[in-house]
Structure formats: structure tokens, C-alpha cells
Amino acid sequence: MSEEQEIEEQDAEQVFYDAVENETVVDDESTTEEQEYSPLEQEALDSGWTPKEQFVEKGGDAERWKTAHEYVEYGKLKNALNNAKADQDRMKSDFDKRLESVNKIHKAQQEAQLNAYKEEQRRAVEEADTAAYDEAQKKIDGMKNETPQEVPAKDPKIIEWENKNSWVNDIKDPRAQEANDLWNSYVNRNPNDSVDNALAYIDRVMGLNERETNPRREAPSDTSRQTTKTKTKSSLSFNDLTQEERDFYNQTKHDLWADAKHPNGNVKEYLKAVKDSRKG
């Protein structure tokens, strides 16, 4: 083999090795390349989102596919709706429970009244007083003819006020608890006063009418307002009950207000029922 042929073979071999090396480098680059996602896309991926190509490959409808932004925002909206529904369910459950307690009070009061009339009849029989017996019987018949009422209908003026101040039904709004405490405080101190005066008292103390004319005005901070808030800060306590209400609880606590945790009577449930019963 001549020197010239030997050089040509060496050059050809070098070209071959160069080609193989270049090909290997290209393959390595292609196999190590990974798909990069934006932070928003990564957030969507973590929540179950898939890119459009993968979505369609898995049988999804291309027209129903959502971008990463749409998917994340949809998830937030769905969570908000679920939370709102959960809040409504809790409010309904609490309302049903309180309604049951109020009905329990009314039913027990009716039974106690009926027993009192029967006791009048018993004494009338012992004393041979037919007139007293007949009078007690009239009272009993009157109770039987009464139309059963679960809970007194809410005053239309209260409904109108609540519609005007919709926040009062929001359990997360601190104003709702304040308004409720103010109502209870006023009714306890003025049991025979009108609904109009009670609602006007709440408006005045909370500055609701003033906020309507000047919405940017801050809540009053005068001494009288602070004193009133201090008085109405706590909920209804057992000491706030009338003597009749306390006696009724003591007579019925084991039968009507006892539960697994409170075998001797759940006074908190009774207080809630009294508050709701007073408001009507």
C-alpha cells in the first residue's frame, strides 16, 4: 500500500469517527430535553390540569379544554361556591336546631298550662265547686280549639329591616352579633315596647342611618356608644331570665334540655331558645 493510499484511509476513518461522535451528541441532547412550564401552568398541573395535546389524546373534547389560567380561576370559583354552600348548610342546621328548641318551649308551656287547669278541676271536685270545675273545663276546651302554632311569625317590620341590612344574616360579619346583642338587651329592658323603637335603638347605637347619608363616616366613638357596647357585649345569661323562665328551666331541664354531655340540662341551648322565643 502506498503512502498516499494510507493517508486516504486514515482520513476516511477520521471522518467516520467524527460523524459517529456528532450523532451521539445530538441524541444525548434530544433525550435530556424536558418540557418547561410557567409557574401558573405548574400550579394548574398540580391541581389536575393537562396540556391540550395530552387532554385530547386522553379522549377529551378540545372545545372543553381550559387554559392553565382558566383552570386555576375555575378551581377558585368552585371552591368559593363550595365554601358558600357549606356556610349555608351550617346556618340552616343551626336555624333548624334553634327552631326545634323554641318549639320545645312552646309545647312544654302549653302542657304546663293544661296541667294547671286540670289541677283547678281536681281542687274543684274536692271542694264540690261545680262552677270552678266548669270554668276550668272551658279553659281546657279553649286550648284544644286553638290552632297549633310552631313559632310566632316574624314581625314584617323586622323582615323589612333585615332586608335593608342584609349583613345581619352573615354569620361572619361582626355587625350581625352586635345587632343581635343590642336587640336582646333592649327587649330585656323594655319587654312591652314597640318593634319600631327597638329597631330605631339598634340603628342609633350602630350609626346605621348616619352611614346611609355619609357612607365614609366612621362609626361613632362617643362615651355613650362605648358604654352601651360594654353592656351588650355578652350574650343572654341565666341571670337575665325572668323568674318564670328560670323556674321553667329548673322544672324541665332533665326532661327537655338534657343531652349526652349535659345530663343535668344544657343551659346554653335553653338560653338560645329563650332569645329566639322573645324575638318571635
Per-residue pLDDT of the chain in tens (280 residues, 90 and over written 9): 556 666 566 666 665 556 545 554 444 444 445 678 899 989 999 989 999 889 999 998 988 899 999 998 888 888 887 887 787 777 777 777 777 777 777 777 788 888 888 999 899 898 888 898 989 898 888 887 765 554 455 678 888 898 889 888 877 788 888 888 888 888 878 877 888 888 998 998 888 876 554 444 444 444 444 444 434 434 678 888 787 778 778 877 877 778 888 888 888 887 877 777 666 5
Residue 273 near residue 105 (C-beta atoms within 8 A): yes
Task: Show Cβ contacts of residue 272 under 8 Å, excluding neighbours closer than 6 positions.
Answer: 98, 101
What is the residue-wise DSSP string for 158-171?
Answer: HHHHHHHTGGGG-T
Query: Are 181 and 194 in a shared domain?
Result: yes
Residue 133 near residue 125 (C-beta atoms within 8 A): yes
CB burial of residue 50 (10 Å; 0-12, 13-18, 19+): middle
Query: Are 175 and 218 in a shared domain?
Result: yes
- The answer as to whether 257 is a domain residue is yes
Query: Are 229 and 242 in a shared domain?
Result: no
Query: Are 225 and 244 in a shared domain?
Result: no
Query: Are 259 and 205 in a shared domain?
Result: no
Query: Are 230 and 163 in a shared domain?
Result: yes
- The answer as to whether 29 is a domain residue is no
Query: Are 275 and 250 in a shared domain?
Result: yes
Number of domains in the chain: 2
- The answer as to whether 148 is a domain residue is no
Task: Please tell me the pTM assigned to this model.
Answer: 0.32
Query: Are 202 and 265 in a shared domain?
Result: no
- The answer as to whether 272 is a domain residue is yes
Buried b (16+ CB within 10 A) or exposed e, 236-261: beeebbeeebeebbeebbeebbeeee
- The answer as to whether 119 is a domain residue is no
Query: Are 228 and 264 in a shared domain?
Result: no
Buried b (16+ CB within 10 A) or exposed e, 76-104: eeeeeeeeeeeeeeeeeeeeeebeebbeb
Query: Are 216 and 244 in a shared domain?
Result: no
Query: Are 216 and 252 in a shared domain?
Result: no
Q: What is the rounded CA–CA span in Å between residue 68 and residue 53?
A: 13
The domain of 207 spans 155-234
Task: Name the residue among 93, 107, 87, 95 with its Cα closest to residue 276.
Answer: 95
- The answer as to whether 262 is a domain residue is yes
- The answer as to whether 110 is a domain residue is no
- The answer as to whether 196 is a domain residue is yes
Query: Are 172 and 217 in a shared domain?
Result: yes
